[in-house]
Amino acid sequence: MEIKATHGFKIDAGQDRFNEVITFLGATYECKVSAIDSREGLCVYDTSKMEKGGPPFHFHYAQDEWCYILEGEFVFKIGDDIFNAKAGDAIFAPRQIPHTFAKIGDANGRMLLVYQPAGTMDEFYQQASQVPDGTLRDFERLYRIHGMEIVGPPLKFD
């Protein structure tokens, strides 16, 4: 994956920057801008969330996370605050503040995820897609390796 952008580029709709398929936690992640492209300044993922739910309550030591909702409805928890978000809404989770989200409803969910600075988020997504679902201990280790900490369970909705 050692592609460094030396000029502008285009990623077609439904395609990943590196022609990879990255899936975990019930979602598909398409890299649109990588850490390598931006000299680790940022990375951008187009995330299609097919299943209800989301990641565990966690925080990033060094990355701010910005989410822009393209389709569907989500609930975000950032610190002690709860936000409902729908298409067109944006959510910001500052570094070192615990956060999570969950797709709610039956409609497809899709959002852009932007991390700044990028750190090793590209590697995190690639490695996370290799971890079998339901192996929380492996996820905890993977989160730590990539500068994050899991501090609670995912949001639950019945």
Per-residue pLDDT tens listing for the chain (158 residues): 555 667 889 999 989 999 988 998 889 999 999 999 998 899 999 999 878 889 999 999 999 999 999 999 999 999 999 999 999 999 999 999 999 999 998 999 999 999 999 999 999 999 999 887 666 677 889 999 999 999 999 998 75
- What is the rounded CA–CA span in Å between residue 112 and residue 29? 9
Residue 14 lies in a domain: no
CATH number, position 66: 2.60.120.10
The reported pTM is 0.91
* Tokens describing residue 158: 């019945």
Phi and psi, residue 141, nearest 5°: -65, -45
Residue 120 lies in a domain: yes
Number of domains in the chain: 1
Beta bridge partners of 112: 46, 68
- What is the rounded CA–CA span in Å between residue 30 and residue 105? 22
